Amino acid sequence: MNPTVRTAVIPAAGLGTRFLPATKAQPKEMLAVVDRPAIQYVVDEAVAAGLDDVLVVTSRGKSAIEDHFDRMPELELELDRKGKQDALAAVRALAEGPRMHYVRQGEPLGLGHAVAMAADHVGDRPFAVLLPDDLMVDDAALLRGMLGANAERGASVIALKRVPSEEISAYGCPRVEPVDGPLVRIGEIVEKPSPEDAPSDLAVTGRYVFSPGIFEALAKVEPGKGGEIQLTDAIGELSTSEPVYGWVFEEGRYDVGTPLDHLRATIEIALAHPELGEAFAALLADVVRRHGLD
Ligand code: UTP
């Protein structure tokens, strides 16, 4: 029987150069989207999909992430003293979530290298990888679907977003064959192809459910584009020894590692926010009118 996936690996050791100077002294995973840091959405998504063990791959300057998911007794005492019970509950809940573990990636040698850092923790079980740059606003529907397909097929499943052809050169892009509904079988996979060379309009995005075979594949790949160990190359390698599937989705994803998409996420998540949504919608309508954008 295929073992159940319990662990979410969250690679968070990158330099965040697309969001400088905001990310010079602050992890990009801790940039707030409305009222919580990006990484909190991702941990919540993992929990909503049934995972209860989280391994964050961190690096120098990222200790704010560990502090965020830890107890903070002085703050809790002060909130209690001031009768701020809602804030107290929110702060405490962060330390009472899934089991959090951390491993350091000494040098940013690439996403593939970051995932390889999880090998000892994960062992011989399937596991999920969630990139904290990619915020999914879908009640964990995508990840749930992928975990279901992994359990059914006993194989790796990669999230694939359909993108316009001019955007494909920012992503890994696979050749695929249809299987069943959103499920496709992945063949060859190309990192950042030009639109003319792209084998499909499907972009590898930041949710993966891997069989432990990915670690062997990662050990085989050489540094690729940008001198980094590319996860995409390891997925291609894996697909030569075992089946790899893709799960196609269209909507609900924001790349909060870039200022523009971070703004889009902020606006849309704020509009849907149970307490802020109504007031924010009025504020936004006013801004739109005053700037003559209506
Ligand atoms: P990105 O390339 O989007 O992140 O990697 P980055 O390198 O931090 O950002 P830019 O491109 O310079 O703006 C995708 C994910 O992989 C992690 C990043 O933290 C991000 O979550 N990553 C990347 C690592 O953990 N280690 C690495 O060596 C590279």
Domain boundaries, the chain: 7-257
33: which residues sit within 8 A by CB, 6+ positions away? 41, 135, 256, 262, 265, 266, 269
Task: Look at residue 3 in the predicted model and tell me its pLDDT.
Answer: 66
Question: What residue type is 130 in one-letter code?
Answer: L
Convert 35-72 to b/e letters by CB count within 10 Å (16 or more is b). ebbbbbbbbebbeebebebbbbbbbeebeebeebbeee
- Give 125's Cβ-side CA count (13 Å radius): 16
Task: Look at residue 252 in the predicted model and tell me its pLDDT.
Answer: 87
- Which among 60, 133, 134, 256 is the best mutation to test ligand 1's pocket, defined by most ligand atoms within 8 Å of the CB? 133
116: which residues sit within 8 A by CB, 6+ positions away? 215, 218, 219, 229
Q: Which residues line ligand 1 (CB under 6 A)?
A: 11-18, 57, 105, 108-111, 113-114, 131-133, 257
Calpha distance 243→229 (Å, rounded): 22
Task: Look at residue 226 in the predicted model and tell me its pLDDT.
Answer: 77
- Residue range 7-257, CATH number: 3.90.550.10
Burial of 76 (0-12, 13-18, 19+ CB in 10 A): middle
Calpha distance 246→188 (Å, rounded): 12
Dump pLDDT digits (tens) for 43-98: 999 999 999 999 999 999 899 999 999 999 999 999 999 999 999 999 999 999 89
Give the number of the atom of ligand 1 that is nearest the alpha carbon of residue 229: 28
Task: Look at residue 174 in the predicted model and tell me its pLDDT.
Answer: 96
Give the number of the atom of ligand 1 that is nearest the alpha carbon of residue 19: 13
Answering whether pTM is above 0.85, one says yes
Give the number of the atom of ligand 1 that is nearest the alpha carbon of residue 10: 21
Q: What average pLDDT does range 120-130 have in this prediction?
A: 97
pLDDT confidence tier of residue 139, bands split at 50, 70 and 90: confident
* Residue 258 DSSP SS3: coil
- Give 29's Cβ-side CA count (13 Å radius): 27
Question: 249 C-alpha vs ligand 1 centroid, how far in Å?
Answer: 22
Dump pLDDT digits (tens) for 259-283: 999 999 999 999 999 999 999 999 9
CB contact at 8 A, 210 and 156: yes
